[in-house]
C-alpha cells in the first residue's frame, strides 16, 4: 500500500520502478488456485498511475473504489480510543471486538463526547458524529487527525465529557491543515491548485450552478503562466475541483426518504477520483465541501445555502444520527 502525504513524483526513476514492480508482480502471479493479489493505491496517486503505459481497458474491470461508511469510521475511532485508554490505565479492559456493534460503539463514544454541536453559522444543533465526519472526506487518516486535535483541545479529557464547544474549536483548528494536505497530495496532477482555488473560487457561494464556475474560468488572469493549464482548458479546471473533492453534486430532494436528517442538511455526493464523472448540467445544484469552506473563504450566503452541507456517506447509519 502506498499511503503517505508526500508529493508523488512519479517522474523519478525509483518511483516508476516501484509502481512498475507492483503491477508486474500482480500480472505475473499465478492466477490458478485460491490466491488473489490486490494492490491498494490512494486516490491522489491513482491519477498519476493511469498515465503509465498499461492496458487500462483490461484492468478497469477489476478496479474497486474503497469507501468508508460512517459506522466503520466510528468503530475504528472507538477501537483506537479504547486501546489508548487501556494503555494509559484509564480503562480496565480492552475487548476491541465489541466495537463491531454500532450500538456498543455509541455507548462507549457517549462516555467521552457530547451528543450535540451547535452550528453558529446556521444557528442549529447537529449530531456530533456527522458533524465531525462531514468536516473530513471520510478517510481514516483525516478522521483520526481531526479527532486527535479535538482531544488535544480538551484539557479535561478523559475525566470529563468533551463539550460541543470544544469539538467545534477542534474542528476549526484542524480543517485548514487537512485542506493543505489534500492540495499537497494532488500537486503533481494539479499544480498550484491551492493558490488557484483561494484566488478564484472565493468568488463563489457555498451552493451554486455550473454556469458560475464557467464565469470564474472566463476571468482567469494568467500573466506569469502559473494558471495557464486552467485558463486554456475549462474541463481541466472542472475535473480538478471534483477530483480534490472541493465540490460535490447535490442530491435531488425528490430522491430522498422522509427523515429529520434530510431537513437538517443539504446532502451531496463528493466522490474524489472516481472514474465516472458527475457530468452536472446547468440545473444541477453544486455544493462546497465543508472542509474547504474556511480555507478557500467561500461566500457564506444563507440565501444561497440555507442549511449545512453534508456528504451522503456521513449520515447513512440511523443509530448514529440519533445521538
Residue range 10-20, pLDDT digits in tens: 567 777 787 77
What average pLDDT does the segment 290-306 reach? 89
Model confidence band, residue 2 (pLDDT cutoffs 50, 70, 90): very low
* pLDDT at residue 3 in the model: 46
Sequence-ordered list of residues with C-beta below 8 angstroms from that of 29, at least 6 positions apart, any chain: 35, 37
What average pLDDT does the segment 296-301 reach? 88
Sequence-ordered list of residues with C-beta below 8 angstroms from that of 72, at least 6 positions apart, any chain: none
Beta bridge partners, 261, equal none
Beta bridge partners, 103, equal none
What average pLDDT does the segment 150-170 reach? 93
What average pLDDT does the segment 223-233 reach? 89
Query: Domain ranges in the chain?
Result: 13-62, 70-178, 185-315
Ranges 150-154, 230-234, 256-260: which has the least confidence: 256-260
* pLDDT at residue 6 in the model: 52
What's the pTM value of the predicted model, to 2 decimals?
A: 0.84
* pLDDT at residue 212 in the model: 95
Model confidence band, residue 261 (pLDDT cutoffs 50, 70, 90): confident
What average pLDDT does the segment 138-147 reach? 94
d(CA 81, CA 100): 14
Beta carbons of 185 and 194 less than 8 angstroms apart: no
Beta carbons of 114 and 163 less than 8 angstroms apart: yes
Model confidence band, residue 241 (pLDDT cutoffs 50, 70, 90): very high
Residue 222 confidence (pLDDT) above 80:
no
Ranges 116-120, 225-229, 268-272: which has the least confidence: 268-272
What average pLDDT is seen over the chain? Answer: 85
* pLDDT at residue 253 in the model: 64
d(CA 238, CA 202): 15
Residue 5 confidence (pLDDT) above 80:
no
Phi and psi, residue 251, nearest 5°? -90, 130
Sequence-ordered list of residues with C-beta below 8 angstroms from that of 300, at least 6 positions apart, any chain: 121, 205, 206, 293
Residue 285 confidence (pLDDT) above 70:
yes
Residue 260 confidence (pLDDT) above 60:
yes
Between 89 and 310, the more confident residue is 310
Joined grid coordinates for residue 245:
473533492
- At which residue does the C-alpha cell 491498494 appear? 40
What average pLDDT does the segment 216-227 reach? 87
What average pLDDT does the segment 158-168 reach? 94
Joined grid coordinates for residue 196:
488557484
Amino acid at each position: 500500500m502506498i499511503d503517505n502525504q508526500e508529493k508523488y513524483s512519479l517522474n523519478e526513476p525509483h518511483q516508476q520502478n516501484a509502481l512498475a514492480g507492483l503491477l508486474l508482480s500482480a500480472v505475473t502471479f499465478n492466477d490458478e488456485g485460491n490466491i488473489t493479489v490486490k494492490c491498494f493505491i490512494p486516490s491522489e496517486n491513482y491519477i498519476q498511475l493511469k498515465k503509465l503505459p498499461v492496458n487500462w481497458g483490461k484492468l478497469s474491470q477489476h478496479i474497486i473504489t474503497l469507501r468508508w461508511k460512517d459506522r466503520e469510521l466510528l468503530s475504528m475511532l472507538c477501537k483506537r480510543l479504547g486501546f489508548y485508554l487501556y494503555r494509559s490505565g484509564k480503562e480496565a479492559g480492552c475487548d476491541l471486538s465489541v466495537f463491531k456493534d454500532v450500538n456498543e460503539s455509541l455507548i462507549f463514544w457517549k462516555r467521552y463526547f457530547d451528543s450535540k454541536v451547535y452550528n453558529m453559522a446556521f444557528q442549529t444543533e447537529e449530531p456530533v458524529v456527522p458533524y465531525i465526519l462531514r468536516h473530513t472526506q471520510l478517510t481514516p487518516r483525516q478522521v483520526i487527525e481531526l479527532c486527535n486535535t479535538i482531544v488535544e483541545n480538551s484539557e479535561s479529557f478523559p475525566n470529563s465529557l468533551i463539550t460541543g464547544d470544544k469539538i467545534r474549536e477542534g474542528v476549526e483548528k484542524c480543517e485548514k491543515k487537512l485542506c493543505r494536505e489534500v492540495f499537497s497530495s494532488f500537486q503533481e496532477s494539479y499544480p498550484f491548485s491551492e493558490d488557484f482555488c483561494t484566488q478564484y473560487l472565493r468568488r463563489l457561494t457555498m451552493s451554486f450552478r455550473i454556469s458560475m464556475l464557467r464565469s470564474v474560468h472566463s476571468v482567469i488572469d494568467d500573466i506569469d503562466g502559473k494558471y495557464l493549464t486552467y485558463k486554456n482548458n475549462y474541463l481541466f479546471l472542472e475535473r480538478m475541483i471534483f477530483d480534490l473533492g472541493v465540490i460535490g453534486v447535490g442530491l435531488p430532494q425528490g430522491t430522498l426518504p422522509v427523515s429529520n436528517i434530510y431537513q437538517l442538511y443539504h446532502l451531496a455526493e463528493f466522490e474524489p477520483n472516481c472514474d465516472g464523472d458527475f457530468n452536472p448540467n446547468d440545473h444541477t445544484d453544486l455544493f462546497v465541501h465543508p472542509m474547504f469552506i474556511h480555507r478557500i473563504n467561500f461566500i457564506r450566503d444563507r440565501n444561497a445555502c440555507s442549511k449545512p452541507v453534508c456528504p451522503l456517506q456521513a449520515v447513512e447509519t440511523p443509530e448514529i444520527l440519533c445521538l
